[in-house]
Amino acid sequence: MVTKSIITQIGERQFSGDKKTQWIKARTLDGNDIVFWGNKASCVNLIALEQQETPLLVRCSECERNSECPQIYGPHFSIPETAVVTIFPYRPDAIRKLLNEKHGKDAVVELLAREF
């Protein structure tokens, strides 16, 4: 499923014991946790997220709703390393301004994503 979300928090990159699997947990405006996955060969999404300030608007080409993972890892959604993650080129202060103007979250996401 393709999804668009406003990310409000980005955690530190985490590694499995053997360092082959990597992930970053993030939190969305509506309080959901998302985990972005990577590995040694494919961690471009993680690198891109680490370079961002929040809040930011992202579109993910693949997003899986977790039924088991919340009990294990805590996230509600999972973005595999194969997903195309688009980070929209809006300044965090512009997103905050729209949100503070009492526009609904969904309206802000649609307004910002409309151009792309």
50-99 confidence digits (pLDDT tens): 999 999 999 988 887 765 554 555 667 889 899 999 999 888 998 888 88
Tens of pLDDT, residues 15-60? 988 888 999 999 998 888 899 999 888 899 999 999 999 999 999 8
The reply to whether 116 falls in a domain is: no
Q: Identify the pLDDT of residue 96.
A: 87
Residue 25 belongs to a domain = yes
Taking Cα atoms as reference points, which of 30, 21, 41 lies closest to residue 3? Answer: 30
Residue 51 lies in a domain: yes
In the chain, how many domains are there? Answer: 1
* Measured torsion, CA atoms of residues 86, 51, 15, 59, in degrees rounded to the nearest 10: -10
- Using alpha carbons, list the distances in angstroms from residue 82 to 28, 61, 67, 71, 98: 21, 9, 20, 24, 31
DSSP 8-state symbol, 75: -
Is 64 a domain residue? yes
Predicted confidence at residue 62, as pLDDT, reads: 85
Q: Residue 72 gets which letter from DSSP?
A: H
> Is the per-residue pLDDT at 102 higher than 60?
yes
CATH number at residue 79: 2.40.50
Q: How far apart are CA 114 and CA 14, in angstroms?
A: 33
What pLDDT, on the 0 to 100 scale, is given for residue 71?
53
The burial of 115, by beta-carbon neighbours within 10 Å (0-12 exposed, 13-18 middle, 19 or more buried), is given as exposed
Does residue 27 lie within any of the structural domains?
yes
Beta bridge partners of 27: 9, 33
- Diameter of the chain measured on Cα atoms: 47
* pTM (two decimals): 0.84
What is the span of the domain harbouring residue 42? Answer: 3-111
Average pLDDT for 5-15: 94
